[in-house]
Amino acid sequence: MTTNTSNTQIRHDWCLTEIVQLFELPLNDLLFLAQSIHRQNFDPNALQISRLLSIKTGACPEDCKYCAQSGHNQTELEKEKLLEVASVIEAARKAKAEGASRFCMGAAWRCPMDKDMPYVLEMVREVKALGMETCMTLGMLTLEQAHQLGSEGLDYYNHNLDTSEAYYDQIVTTRTYQDRLDTLQHVRDAGMKICSGGILGMGESREDRAGLLMQLANLPEHPESVPINMLIKIAGTPLADEEDLDSFEFVRTVAVARIMMPRSWVRLSAGRESMNDQMQALCYFAGANSVFCGDKLLTTGNTTVSDDKSLFERLGLNTVDTQAPTEELNRDMAVLAELKRSAENELFFNAME
């Protein structure tokens, strides 16, 4: 497989066979390729930090097999009504003080009800007034609802595809894959940025992981944010006893996502609590450059702020507050130039050819 990393190519015509070929590269070659592309588009030592808050918890009518909040699953999660706006703003202030630049708000709904929209829109306005980027995940959206959120200045809307279209009905049956794609289109039509990724370790095959990335990369525009989640196995859900995904396969998926969507923020999302420092470091080297901070995600645990700070300092990673990837980097350009010269040197063995 011949791969040229001299220029970043934005593609929307990926086929499953070539994506699987990327997965099958020797790990060192795959990481070299992903890191080279990463350096062309981002500061390789910078991380974007987000904070996630559940603004309405539990009793969701969807039957997602991985989710503690599904009303179909027998978990011990306590249901909670929509939070008051003041409570949300207090959490956002704390998140900003702890280094988050984006505040993400999630509600366990199939779709927002009209009666709830005024409160949701007020949350967007108040969080933006703090100088933070805003993101929401509220389930499916109509085009009208998307425009309402966009008109209030919502920056990102999260709506994950979860897995490949071929494997999707093994995970969710109460909404279709097309429903998810339609919501993403409504978000884009309303002028907002898309946050969309998936969950690994749900019993899917490598081809399914490739298929998920193919769907995302072949959208008319790449999602600006691509969260890669490791399944958190929750008692009472159908996937509670699923076998662990190999750590290197997770790292490979991050690397392939970086190669296919070179200018997207690739978030190392749920599941970090179970990853050791070495695995996280490999993911950052593979091109992950965004994380959720804080002790809790929506309903599950996360690494602590102090643990994150310690690891980032040991790895020499800095946090950034930016809304777009850097097009031309001044930092580490000498290193990248040396990598290119090495690749052209006759003494350099290119195992990817």
Instruction: Return the active site residues.
Output: 60, 64, 67, 104, 135, 195, 267
Radius of gyration of the chain (CA): 20
Gap between the Cα atoms of 104 and 227, Å rounded? 13
DSSP letters along 151-167, please? HTT--EEE---BS-TTT
CA atoms within 13 A on the CB side of 51: 24
3-state secondary structure 57-85: ECCECCCCCCCCCECCCCCCCCCECCCCH
Helix (H, G, I), strand (E, B) or coil at 270: coil
Which residues does 12 contact at the CB level (< 8 Å), separation at least 6?
217, 218, 219, 220, 222
Which residues does 115 contact at the CB level (< 8 Å), separation at least 6?
none
Which residues does 179 contact at the CB level (< 8 Å), separation at least 6?
140
Gap between the Cα atoms of 31 and 272, Å rounded? 20
Is the torsion defined by CA of 53, 56, 57, 61 positive or negative? negative
DSSP letters along 93-136, please? HHHHHTT-SEEEEEE--SS--GGGHHHHHHHHHHHHHTT-EEEE
CA atoms within 13 A on the CB side of 40: 21
What amino acid is encoded at 325 in this protein?
Answer: P
What amino acid is encoded at 247 in this protein?
Answer: S
Gap between the Cα atoms of 199 and 50, Å rounded? 18
